[in-house]
Structure 1
Amino acid sequence: MSLVERDEALASLEGLLANAVMGKGRVALVSGTVATGKSELLHGFAEQALELGALPVTATGSRVERDLPLGVLRQLIQDSPLVAEERERAMALLDEGARTVTPSGSQAEPLDHVDAQIVHALCTLLLELSERYPLMIVVDDVQHADRASLLCLSYLSRRVRFARIVAVFSHSDHGWSSETFFQTELLRQPHCRRIQLAPLSRAGVMSLVARRVGKEAAERFSEDWYAVSGGNPLLAGALVDDYEDFLHASGGETPAELVVGDRYGQAVLSCLRRGEPQMLRVARGLAILGGPDSLAQLLGVGPASVIRALHFLTVAGLLALGRFRHEAARTAVLAEVDSGEWADLHRRAAELAHESGASTTTVADHLLQAGRVDAPWGVSVLEDAARNALREGRVESAVAYLRLAWRECVDEQHRMKITTMLVRAEWRINPAAPAGHLAELAEAMQRGHLRGSDAVVLARALLWHGRFEDARDVLEHLNESGGGMDSETVTELVIARPWLRATHPPFLAHLQKTTGEQDRAAIVSVTANRRLDAALALADVLTRGPREEVMDAVERILRGCRLDEMSMDTVESALLALTYAGRPDRAAPWCDLFSAEASALQAPSRQARLAAIRAEIAVRQGDMPGAEHHARAALDIIPLSSWGVAVGGPLSSLILALTAMGKYDAVHEYLDQPVPDAMFRTRYGLHYLHARGRYSLATDHPALALRDFQRCGELMGRWELDVPGLVAWRTDAAEACLRLGRPEQARQLAEEQLRRCGPATPRPHGIAMRLTAATGNARQRTTLLRQAVELLQSAGDRYELSRALSDLVKVYQDLGEYRRAGMIAGRAQAVARECGVGSVSRAVPRDGAGAAATPPAESGAVLSDAERRVAVLAAAGYTNREIAGKLYITISTVEQHLTRTYRKLNITRRADLPSSLEFGSPVTA
């Protein structure tokens, strides 16, 4: 027997038995809360009876046998060693007693009437038996004994004082109701001892655990086991069971933290089932509410009854400070509640929370669990809770609230407002989710139940899914409303205009022209003004090209933004404005910051859209592995079928990256994926045509590539978005023309692109310079390509830089300058590897001279700024005279700087200058 912290109780019982054996009968009442080891103590005591010189006679009370007259006494008689004649007489008395038991006619009388002669005769049998054998009479869970048996046991207890009998009864503290007379009757006897079993102490829990899983695990987790079990031996043992189950499942790996599993939950339910029904009912109410406030009103019982039940649950180790000690206990209790009671309790809890002024989130959670809204205030509460949830980033909760509000709302116009909110919320999880509501909203608009800003939301959703005809109808319907629009609608329309200009240019004609500053005056919120400014900045970049003052304004917008319900459009427009303006280095950290925020807010749609922008940024930085990673992430978070027309964004970045890295089979797989035809009426279609053309060019299909590039250029011209920063289609078309043997057409395209570029567009300028070089003679090509290298280096596009360097290697080879070719080839290969496209085979020198060995990157750190500038230009192939002209210094100064540079880097010639200098401080002309 392994009784922890029960030695004193066991010793007391043994002492009482010793007195009984000597003819001094005793009575013990062992009490304690549920599962504190009362039964184990009594059973262990009974097992020692023979060793202690007594004969055990046992019985157990049961709630289901409470109405069975003399049931417990019958157990004792049957367990007694009576001779046949005595047993026959005892059974007859029991049968007669059971037949003669009559219900009490008076509420004052504590129990049913039993014939006194029968009681006397039955007790006399046991008293006479004790003359032959000292008896240990044990009744476990006596609080569940039938009333007739309690009368007999009370009679017997009064007469054992001078008999060789020890009578031990156990009961739970919470189990007494109308039968308190038995406890009172026993305790008033001088020969009765009360033994109270308390929950285990911390040391007791540790001892219990150590006996089963060892001292090391006990010391590590005993505090947690004690805190969760409250010292209840059953609960503590169940936690050890969960621990052992984990060890078995993990192959013996020790858990990092406390394991609370199914065994603990089942033990909690076992404790509740052993108690009175009121305890279980209170536990269920507490599980519904999460705390004790309003518990009496919820259950419709008196406060005293609830207080008493909470006390017993606390003593039993289930509660601490009015709440379950662990969420697993609450979960187990809730799992036992049937659906009807569940709905009723939550509905009542919602009413109580609303009456007490609780938060709308608390009320809405109960309404959601009830699954129905009966109160007139229910729908508005759900809407308010949804708005709060969206602000806090709990999008799935917001969607759940709105779906219930939508289902329960009976006013159609109000229902459409809710539907619009639902579309916005579902969009943040998956843009495809709201598609089922679009037809309903369109029909509501035709009936006049959807107006204003909600109609703009509908139009944008329809455009995303490529339902352009429906979107056109919505926009025209808005135009017809004319001056009857409220300020919110005017705000949405003013913002929609530049957004359409940049994203869906063909649909701008379907939106009524705004009146400039007059309409802008209707925009009163800071958030709306930011949305408008960001959309205007994007439209400005795509129609007029980059301007520094616009870029500064965009960054100010981003500094004031957080990802809330309405700011994603602001962030997206601002990031794209920076990217298309040739500032990917400034856009990248902002995009990473907002991506982390979207992840924390658990907004998959926003994560995907930001990943798509990040992929576009990586492409323009020449980071092809990064572009592949971000584009795949975007398409994993939101499946390709849910992207609608916007699929062209991440898909084109992925195709460009894979093409650059030579992964043509993977590109072919993505090009086989169907895309909506409507995509080619959006900005996303331009990117897709460009990417598909680059793939065709890389796989030796220049005619197909030229067709895609020309179609891209035709659309950009028609939409008045023909700026080099969006898609440099002319240089790609020029490359296709060169492959097709049309050098004059290629030269015209490249020169036209050059005319459109300026100082603010170094990337497309450098690319155009490279293609222009391809149409000139060798000497011209050298100068043009070196300029292209400088431009692309300053633009930060490593992929295009590697291509320009590769072309420069080829030119030097053609001119027979193999030393220069070898030096540049090493840098070209290093850059190509850095941007993920591997080595550039065509840059390998024809004379077999390898590229100069690259010293450690830190070697360049010993150079002064002046020496570095000279070394960078020398490494790029410039002569001393050319370097002197570019830096406005004398040739002698150039020679002196180079001499000191050679000495510091421990090299002897220009060809040995490290390729890492190419990425040092930018060259200034």
Structure 2
Amino acid sequence: MAVHNQREGMALLRAMLDEAAGGQGRGAMVTGAIATGKSELLYGFADLAAGRGALTLTAMGAPSERGLPLGVLSQLVHNAPLSAPHRSVALGLLQEAERAPAAGGPDAEAVGNIDVRMVDALSTALLDMARECPLVIVVDDLHHADRSSQLCLAYLARRSRNARLLMVVSVPDDHAQSRGLLHAEVLRRPHCRHIRLGHLSPEGVRERLAGTAGHEAAAELAARFHELSGGNRLLVDALLDDHQTAGAPAERYGEAVLGCLHRADPGAAVVAGVIAVLGSPAQSVPMLRVSEAAVSAAVRALTGAGLLLDGRFRHEAARSAVLAAMDDAERSALHRRAAELTYQDGAPATEVAGHLLLAGDPAHSWAVPVLEDAAEHALRREDGVEPAIEYLKLALRSCDDDRRRAGIATRLVRAKWRINPGISTGHLAELAAALRDGHLGGGDAVVLAKALLWHGHSDDARDVLDRLGGSALDRETMAELAAAHAWFRTGCPSFVAHLPPLDDERAGGAGHSLGAGRRLEAAEALARTLAEGPGEDTAATAERVLRSARLDEMSLDTVECALLALTYGDRTDQAAPWCDAFVAEAAARRAPSRQARLSAIRAEIHARSGDMAAAVRDARQALELISPESWGVALGGLLGTLLRADAATGRQDAFLARAEGAVPAAMLETRFGLQYLYGKARFHLATGQPAQALGDLRLCGELMEQWGLDVPEFIAWRLDAAEALIRLDEADEARLLIKDQRTRCGFRSPRVHGVALRLLAVAGEERHRIGLLRRSAELLETGGDRYELARTLADLTHAHHAAGEYRRAWLVGRRVRTLAEECDAESLAVTLPYGGDAAEAGSATVLPILSDAERRVATLAADGYSNREISSKLFITVSTVEQHLTRIYRKLNVTRRTELPLRQW
């Protein structure tokens, strides 16, 4: 069957009007999918017919008036520009027809609810009008007309062959309620035509847009709008409105979709709702318990209307609008039924769980394990943390088994921890109660203890660990405890005594799962680093763990321990790229808590490398990702890094003042307390408070010795205490601490040994100072700490200057300025004995030393002139030039002319 556009349809109707005006009755049925322009064509033609002198009667069917007898026929009469006699006759017949069924009695022949004689009389009255002038009857949406009006119009169509009458009606394609009657009574008549309209082509969309948006915008948008609308005019217009206001399909598009569904067959609208719930029509038949043919017909209708493409809504905004239009009970029931069907079909757990979430209250015993399984799968995806939390929350609400509830609550705490440790606190009391009731044990109890300790509840954490020791331990629990022992030794050493003891076999990893084995390896690597110092085997273990680690497969504790084993083992160059990769992965997985904790490690790496600006940047980011309150005791480590960076840069951090008060008192029972004390001491030293710094450092040292974590690569507290003592004029005691630190460290850490030599130079005799500082600089070059190198070189600058070696002082000072700028520690350069260029060096030091004659010779020699050229320019002998240069070299402590300052003397 040919598909017509608007222009072709109008041309056909005009031709039929001419034929009807000549006494050849005509009829036209305009069909098409929703929003193909049927109404636009009918009313446009009605105006045209009226303008050409035809008596035009119009009406529109409506679902709400299907039960109103002769409702459409009444519209035709009341809306018509009839003469008084014709109006009187027509209204009288309508009133009589409404009374006819009651007056006709049981023996009267009736068509529908109307006496057949009344039908004939009404038809006769209309035909009489057509004798005076051409009569055009236009009925839009005839499929919604009442049965009586449809029968009357069909009766009239059969008698209009030789009348000056044109009847034009519209119905949608394949409408079940209208196809039989209209096809039999209208389309099969030889004087009737079928005009089938189609949606806009891409070119048609472009032309429609051009009239409103202009040709340039139309050319740009036409293809995309056709893809989203299928050429449906309502959708095209709505898309343009949304584009102008929102830039994408939005509210108007959704409203247009609902408008199309409102005009569709009710069965098609129901199927559209099911497709919105399921995403596709695959399960519509069992969902609705209707025939496959009925569903296929509805899908065809919705596709023809431009709403669906390949069984799916063309845009998510359409699907969202359909879902939003449902009432809550209807939507929940559909999702509940969808969950049942997808579960029975063996669909993935995440698909089933998605429907369970939207249903809100799963009533089946299989729902809880499905939700747990879905959460486990979701946590492996980059964007799965938040859905996993929702799955676990619903599983927790739906579960009535206390032991299982405790396990679900533990996994929920772990999942929430990835986003923000602070939002998991609401479950801690429930888990503690489950532990007391015997419903929580094994690795879940360890998780609870760590969470309590993180939030500063140290007494509760000890209670959990003590209870764990009094219960039977299976192999899985022993595996978790083995990793926990190493973790507590490095993070919270005073809690180790409360952990159940391990036998040698299980402590060594026998029978552990792969994940538990990696956690144990990483924790042991960190423990060895903090107890014994760095080692090649330890670093190799840490790198091996990191190579096989992904944040979705392993606990963050595993990654953290491996990264810190490298960082505290003076291998920041190895740790940095790994840390960067995991920070990026945490960001991609939308796990802000993990990203924050990894950013804190990155800040520590930057601080140990001497890049203080980067250290502050990463530390601030960590504090912005999760609040100081959510950091718990771990805030101490982060603040320690910030304090050290502030000490180096010479600036007090405004952010620090807000965060400092949030540190829990339990922090001093953890490794994070050591880092906080150390950072605070460095800050006190930088702000001229050596006595306060010494107190913090001695407490830090006592705890490190007590816990067995006293390695200088982690915190070289003795060196900083020595610096405080030097400032307090206690140089002898300072030298003892430096000697002790060097003995403990040996030569395994160039960074620590280099700092020790710098302090020995400061505390020792002046005659040894330059040599010690040069050795210190050589070690720190190797150690990779640019800030400590800059401090050593700054001291070396002062030492050269004090020894009268001004040229060397200037050259070293220039290097100090470069490093200070790189480290964001420019306050170091401020203390140098002169400014940054050669002119300042000369004016401050050289001018008082050299005679006028020597300055003239030095100027030309520094500019590259030979002795003979200098002799010629100054009118002196070559021998005199050589004598001047000998004295100049001695005074400036240089050995050749290339070391002379480049300036005009």
Note whether the superposition's TM-score is higher than 0.5. Answer: yes
Which residue of 2 is the match for residue 663 of structure 1? Answer: 651
8 Å contact from structure 1 (residues 728, 764) kept in 2: yes
8 Å contact from structure 1 (residues 581, 725) kept in 2: yes
Which residue of 1 is the match for residue 465 of structure 2? Answer: 475
Give runs of aligned pairs for residues 536-575 of structure 1, distance below 5 A.
536-575=524-563
CA distance in 1, matches of 2:741, 2:342: 67
Which residue of 2 is the match for residue 301 of structure 1? Answer: 290
- 2:323 aligned with 1:334, yes or no? yes
CA distance in 1, matches of 2:444, 2:707: 27
Report the CA distance shift for 1:78/1:624 in structure 2 as closer, same or farther (over 3 A): same
Report the CA distance shift for 1:530/1:908 in structure 2 as closer, same or farther (over 3 A): farther
8 Å contact from structure 2 (residues 820, 829) kept in 1: no
Counterpart of 2:374 (choices 366, 379, 385) is 385
- 2:167 aligned with 1:177, yes or no? no
Which residue of 1 is the match for residue 748 of structure 2? Answer: 760
- 2:402 aligned with 1:428, yes or no? no
- TM-score, length of structure 1 as denominator length: 0.88
Report the CA distance shift for 1:851/1:798 in structure 2 as closer, same or farther (over 3 A): farther
In the TM superposition, what is the alpha-carbon distance from 1:739 to its structure 2 partner? Answer: 1.6
Report the CA distance shift for 1:111/1:300 in structure 2 as closer, same or farther (over 3 A): farther
Counterpart of 2:565 (choices 569, 577, 591) is 577
Secondary structure of the residue aligned to 2:137 is strand
Report the CA distance shift for 1:824/1:130 in structure 2 as closer, same or farther (over 3 A): same
Counterpart of 1:450 (choices 440, 445, 448) is 440
1:579-607: CA deviations, max 9, x gaps?
00101111000000111111111111111
Which residue of 2 is the match for residue 152 of structure 1? Answer: 152
Which residue of 2 is the match for residue 113 of structure 1? Answer: 113
- 2:346 aligned with 1:350, yes or no? no
CA distance in 2, matches of 1:838, 1:103: 108
Counterpart of 1:461 (choices 429, 439, 451) is 451
Report the CA distance shift for 1:59/1:842 in structure 2 as closer, same or farther (over 3 A): closer
- 2:491 aligned with 1:503, yes or no? yes
Secondary structure of the residue aligned to 2:282 is coil
Secondary structure of the residue aligned to 1:645 is helix
Counterpart of 2:636 (choices 640, 648, 661) is 648
CA distance in 1, matches of 2:198, 2:495: 78
CA distance in 1, matches of 2:695, 2:571: 29
In the TM superposition, what is the alpha-carbon distance from 1:455 to its structure 2 partner? Answer: 1.0
Counterpart of 1:634 (choices 622, 633, 642) is 622
CA distance in 2, matches of 1:842, 1:688: 28
CA distance in 2, matches of 1:241, 1:318: 18
Which residue of 1 is the match for residue 8 of structure 2? Answer: 8
CA distance in 2, matches of 1:842, 1:275: 80
Give runs of aligned pairs for residues 51-62 of structure 1, distance below 5 A.
51-62=51-62
In the TM superposition, what is the alpha-carbon distance from 1:50 to its structure 2 partner? Answer: 3.6
CA distance in 1, matches of 2:61, 2:758: 97
Counterpart of 2:796 (choices 808, 813, 817) is 808
Secondary structure of the residue aligned to 2:838 is coil
8 Å contact from structure 1 (residues 823, 912) kept in 2: no
Give runs of aligned pairs for residues 89-238 of structure 1, distance below 5 A.
89-101=89-101, 112-177=112-177, 180-238=180-238
CA distance in 2, matches of 1:695, 1:198: 78
Report the CA distance shift for 1:573/1:441 in structure 2 as closer, same or farther (over 3 A): same
In the TM superposition, what is the alpha-carbon distance from 1:511 to its structure 2 partner? Answer: 1.5
Corresponding pairs, count: 843
Which residue of 1 is the match for residue 848 of structure 2? Answer: none
- 2:593 aligned with 1:605, yes or no? yes
Counterpart of 2:353 (choices 349, 353, 364) is 364
8 Å contact from structure 1 (residues 455, 478) kept in 2: yes
8 Å contact from structure 1 (residues 580, 726) kept in 2: yes
8 Å contact from structure 1 (residues 813, 846) kept in 2: no
Give the residue type in structure 2 aligned to 1:236. Answer: V
Structure 2 portions without partners, runs of 5+? 842-895
* 519-528 or 420-429, larger mean C-alpha shift: 519-528
Identity %: 51
CA distance in 1, matches of 2:610, 2:350: 47
* 737-746 or 722-731, larger mean C-alpha shift: 737-746
8 Å contact from structure 1 (residues 230, 318) kept in 2: yes
Which residue of 2 is the match for residue 282 of structure 1? Answer: 271
Report the CA distance shift for 1:674/1:384 in structure 2 as closer, same or farther (over 3 A): closer
Report the CA distance shift for 1:103/1:832 in structure 2 as closer, same or farther (over 3 A): farther
Q: Give the superposed CA RMSD.
A: 2.3
- TM-score, length of structure 2 as denominator length: 0.90
Secondary structure of the residue aligned to 1:36 is coil
* 488-497 or 427-436, larger mean C-alpha shift: 427-436
In the TM superposition, what is the alpha-carbon distance from 1:309 to its structure 2 partner? Answer: 0.7
In the TM superposition, what is the alpha-carbon distance from 1:624 to its structure 2 partner? Answer: 0.5
In the TM superposition, what is the alpha-carbon distance from 1:658 to its structure 2 partner? Answer: 2.2
Secondary structure of the residue aligned to 2:423 is coil
Give the residue type in structure 2 aligned to 1:90. Answer: A
8 Å contact from structure 2 (residues 353, 374) kept in 1: yes
1:550-570: CA deviations, max 9, x gaps?
112211221111112433111
1:733-756: CA deviations, max 9, x gaps?
111112222111222222221222
CA distance in 1, matches of 2:664, 2:138: 82
In the TM superposition, what is the alpha-carbon distance from 1:519 to its structure 2 partner? Answer: 3.8
* 62-71 or 520-529, larger mean C-alpha shift: 520-529
In the TM superposition, what is the alpha-carbon distance from 1:314 to its structure 2 partner? Answer: 0.5
Which residue of 1 is the match for residue 311 of structure 2? Answer: 322
Secondary structure of the residue aligned to 2:470 is helix
Give the residue type in structure 2 aligned to 1:353. Answer: T
In the TM superposition, what is the alpha-carbon distance from 1:178 to its structure 2 partner? Answer: 6.3
Report the CA distance shift for 1:5/1:700 in structure 2 as closer, same or farther (over 3 A): same
CA distance in 2, matches of 1:668, 1:368: 42
In the TM superposition, what is the alpha-carbon distance from 1:297 to its structure 2 partner? Answer: 1.1
In the TM superposition, what is the alpha-carbon distance from 1:911 to its structure 2 partner? Answer: 6.3
In the TM superposition, what is the alpha-carbon distance from 1:495 to its structure 2 partner? Answer: 0.6
Counterpart of 1:400 (choices 390, 394, 397) is 390
Report the CA distance shift for 1:448/1:758 in structure 2 as closer, same or farther (over 3 A): same
In the TM superposition, what is the alpha-carbon distance from 1:338 to its structure 2 partner? Answer: 0.7
Give runs of aligned pairs for residues 229-268 of structure 1, distance below 5 A.
229-246=229-246, 259-268=248-257
Report the CA distance shift for 1:160/1:520 in structure 2 as closer, same or farther (over 3 A): same
Give the residue type in structure 2 aligned to 1:188. Answer: R
CA distance in 2, matches of 1:372, 1:241: 39
In the TM superposition, what is the alpha-carbon distance from 1:174 to its structure 2 partner? Answer: 4.6
Report the CA distance shift for 1:81/1:156 in structure 2 as closer, same or farther (over 3 A): same
* 285-294 or 693-702, larger mean C-alpha shift: 693-702
CA distance in 1, matches of 2:342, 2:475: 36
Give the residue type in structure 1 aligned to 2:294. Answer: S
CA distance in 1, matches of 2:117, 2:696: 111
Counterpart of 2:739 (choices 735, 746, 751) is 751
CA distance in 1, matches of 2:642, 2:619: 5
Which residue of 2 is the match for residue 374 of structure 1? Answer: 363
In the TM superposition, what is the alpha-carbon distance from 1:380 to its structure 2 partner? Answer: 0.7
In the TM superposition, what is the alpha-carbon distance from 1:841 to its structure 2 partner? Answer: 3.9
In the TM superposition, what is the alpha-carbon distance from 1:759 to its structure 2 partner? Answer: 2.6
1:83-123: CA deviations, max 9, x gaps?
323322321221221233479999xx996231122112212
Which residue of 1 is the match for residue 674 of structure 2? Answer: 686
* 174-183 or 212-221, larger mean C-alpha shift: 174-183
Give runs of aligned pairs for residues 512-911 of structure 1, distance below 5 A.
512-664=500-652, 666=654, 669-670=657-658, 672-838=660-826, 840-841=828-829, 843-845=831-833, 850=838, 909-910=898-899
Which consecutive segments of 4 or more residues in structure 1 shift more than 6 A?
102-106
Which residue of 1 is the match for residue 429 of structure 2? Answer: 439
Give the residue type in structure 2 aligned to 1:293. Answer: A
In the TM superposition, what is the alpha-carbon distance from 1:675 to its structure 2 partner? Answer: 1.1
In the TM superposition, what is the alpha-carbon distance from 1:229 to its structure 2 partner? Answer: 0.5
Give the residue type in structure 1 aligned to 2:522. Answer: A
* 624-633 or 77-86, larger mean C-alpha shift: 77-86
Report the CA distance shift for 1:63/1:111 in structure 2 as closer, same or farther (over 3 A): farther
Give the residue type in structure 1 aligned to 2:838. Answer: G
Give the residue type in structure 2 aligned to 1:409. Answer: C
CA distance in 1, matches of 2:502, 2:704: 24
Secondary structure of the residue aligned to 2:346 is coil
Secondary structure of the residue aligned to 2:527 is helix
Give the residue type in structure 2 aligned to 1:795. Answer: G
